[in-house]
């Protein structure tokens, strides 16, 4: 689906969120219905999937928004500061990697001129979670997309975002048996679900309000 309109982006985000929440609920139900001797086994698997969908949705929603902005075909001067930074950084990277003085001169000319040239936003490795999305990495992604870093995000940093990553790493990387209590899993499930909805809404609203423009 090409993200040519705000409605296209809304549908992409809604579909992305829907299948992830459905699967998370299925794991939650599995935990709730499991026998006493098996509950911690199912919780371990459910926590790993919970982290996977948290990281996966943040990455997918962020990349969808970037694609939406790229399709707008805006000039450098039309971009909001965060997207201008991405475009300029990408161009500087290209100049550094394979060109001589002429490439740097073209960059200086761009930055000191009217900047009416169409901006080239990068397509890859912008929303980089490094497979370890902690609160610091999430904060960077929010800033990259030009979104507001809400109080809800701040409050969730240590007890939810960082704790979920810690538990996921302990489960995924082996070592000692990671026991996760049912009460903690239920809190993580509930709060991560809220964060997924909030982040998706923030991306959607940013597009609706045209905040990608200067």
Instruction: Give the pLDDT confidence score for residue 94 in this predicted structure.
Output: 61
What is the chain's pLDDT, residue by residue, as a tens digit (214 residues)?
Answer: 688 999 999 999 999 999 999 999 999 999 999 988 889 889 999 999 999 999 999 999 999 999 999 999 999 999 999 999 898 887 776 666 556 666 667 667 777 667 788 888 888 888 988 889 999 999 999 999 999 999 999 999 999 999 999 999 998 877 556 789 999 999 999 999 999 999 999 999 999 999 999 9
Residue 112, in any domain of the structure: no
Only one residue has tokens 């370890």, namely: 132
Q: Provide the pLDDT for residue 92.
A: 72
Domain count, the chain: 1
* Residue 140 covered by a domain: yes
106 belongs to a structural domain: no
Evaluate whether residue 95 is within a structural domain: no
In a domain, 13, yes or no: yes
Q: What pLDDT score does 96 carry?
A: 61
Whether 113 is covered by a domain: the verdict is: no
Domain presence at residue 96: no
Boundaries of domain holding 50: 6-75+122-208
Question: How many C-alpha atoms does 196 have within 13 Å on its Cβ side?
Answer: 26
Distance CA 169, CA 108 (A): 44
Residue 118: per-residue pLDDT: 86
pLDDT at residue 123 in the model: 82
Is the pTM here over 0.75, yes or no?
yes
């Amino acid at each position: 689906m090409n993200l040519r309109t705000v409605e296209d982006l809304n549908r992409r985000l809604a579909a992305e969120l829907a299948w992830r929440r459905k699967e998370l609920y299925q794991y939650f139900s599995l935990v709730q219905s499991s026998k006493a001797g098996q509950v911690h086994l199912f919780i371990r698997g459910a926590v790993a999937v919970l982290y996977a969908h948290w990281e996966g949705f943040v990455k997918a929603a962020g990349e969808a928004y970037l694609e939406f902005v790229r399709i707008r075909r805006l000039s450098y001067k039309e971009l909001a500061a965060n997207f201008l930074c991405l475009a300029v950084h990408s161009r500087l990277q290209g100049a550094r990697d394979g060109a001589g003085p002429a490439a740097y001169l073209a960059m200086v000319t761009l930055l000191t001129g009217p900047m009416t040239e169409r901006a080239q936003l990068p397509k890859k490795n912008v929303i980089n979670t490094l497979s370890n999305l902690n609160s610091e990495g999430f904060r960077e992604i929010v800033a990259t997309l030009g979104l507001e870093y809400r109080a809800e995000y701040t409050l969730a940093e240590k007890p939810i975002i960082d704790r979920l990553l810690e538990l996921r790493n302990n489960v995924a990387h082996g070592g000692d048996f990671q026991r996760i209590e049912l009460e903690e899993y239920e809190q993580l499930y509930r709060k991560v679900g809220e964060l997924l909805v909030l982040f998706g809404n923030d991306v959607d609203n940013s597009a609706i309000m045209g905040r990608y423009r200067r």
